């Protein structure tokens, strides 16, 4: 049985992780970490003990987690990473939007404990990334456009997943990203349009369009429920336990891309 902590336990994804874990026999959530007024006094919640971020060390000591699943904001993830490194606790994080100096801290953490960073914990997105390369190779002269849609509360734009997709495209062609278009702006051959929508409670949609030669190829993925990402994050956390320190990728967890 793997014991997990959840950072951002009262957020959209944190709640999904807790709920998904309760349906599994291989993991248990020992505690949650949540900021400010959302956190009752540590240990008083009979359902799930909740701790404020400043009491993370206390939570680690009380519950001895094997790993922590993190869906929060960059500043909170960086602070948590330092505490995980000090306590020898693995960390699986789905937080995105890190600045260079913040990512440097995470790299240091990966030298002390196993750390997995994922812009998306969906197995379908991993399959999409694997399919995208051959499509780009086969349609090398085609225009490429990327559209991503998320709920109205998402802060970073484009999404971390969209940036991961752009990184994959960059493996196959040189391009200049164009973030939205306005006015007279004719398309150039070496650009990829990146379009962002934020609306309602949309879990996550990503669509890549390749078009030319009087034809259109669309490769897309839509998450119907946050449980998709929660299940993947839990799988990643379980997979990390007992591994050597290092920075890991979710593709390694699901085996996508292996020969």
Residue 206 structure tokens: 């990503």
Helix (H) or strand (E) holding 114: strand 114-117
**Catalytic residue chosen out of the listed positions 63, 83, 151, 154:** 154
Q: Which of 207, 211, 177, 206 is nearest to 194 (CA)?
A: 177
- Dist. CA 186–CA 206, nearest whole Å: 24
Q: Is the peptide bond before 158 cis (omega within 30 degrees of 0)?
A: yes
Question: In 3D, which of 209, 190, 221, 197 has the Cα closest to residue 146?
Answer: 209
The torsion angles phi and psi of 139, rounded to 5 degrees, stand at -120, 55
30, containing H or E segment = strand 27-33
150: annotated active-site residue: yes
Query: Is 154 a known active-site residue?
Result: yes
Q: Using CA atoms, how far apart are residues 238 and 68, in angstroms rounded to an integer?
A: 10
Which of 83, 150, 206, 221 is labelled catalytic?
150
Contact indicator for 217, 139 with CB cutoff of 8 Å: yes
- Gyration radius of the chain's alpha carbons: 20
- 86 by DSSP, 3-state: which? helix
CA-based diameter of the chain, in Å?
64
Give me the active site residues, please. Answer: 150, 154
């Amino acid at each position: 049985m793997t014991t997990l902590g959840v950072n951002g336990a009262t957020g959209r994804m944190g709640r999904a992780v807790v709920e998904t874990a309760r349906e599994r026999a291989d993991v248990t959530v020992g505690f949650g970490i949540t900021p400010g007024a959302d956190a009752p006094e540590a240990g008083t919640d009979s359902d799930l003990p909740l701790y404020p971020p400043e009491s993370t060390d206390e939570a680690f000591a009380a519950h001895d987690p094997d790993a922590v699943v993190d869906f929060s904001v960059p500043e909170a993830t960086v602070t948590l990473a330092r505490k995980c490194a000090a306590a020898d606790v693995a960390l699986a994080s789905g937080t995105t939007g890190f600045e260079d100096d913040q990512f440097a801290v995470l790299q240091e953490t990966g030298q002390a404990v196993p750390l997995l960073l994922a812009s998306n914990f969906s197995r379908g997105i991993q399959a999409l990334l694997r399919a995208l390369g051959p499509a780009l190779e086969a349609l090398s002269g085609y225009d490429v456009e990327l559209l991503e849609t998320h709920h109205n509360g998402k802060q970073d734009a484009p999404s971390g997943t969209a940036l991961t997709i752009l990184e994959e495209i960059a493996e196959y062609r040189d391009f200049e990203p164009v973030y939205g278009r306005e006015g007279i702006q004719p398309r150039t051959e070496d650009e990829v349009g990146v379009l962002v929508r934020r609306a309602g409670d949309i879990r996550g949609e990503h669509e890549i369009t390749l078009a030319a030669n009087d034809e259109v190829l669309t490769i897309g993925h839509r998450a119907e429920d946050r449980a998709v990402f929660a299940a993947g994050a839990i799988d990643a956390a379980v997979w990390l336990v007992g591994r050597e320190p290092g920075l890991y990728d979710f593709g390694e967890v699901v085996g996508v891309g292996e020969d």
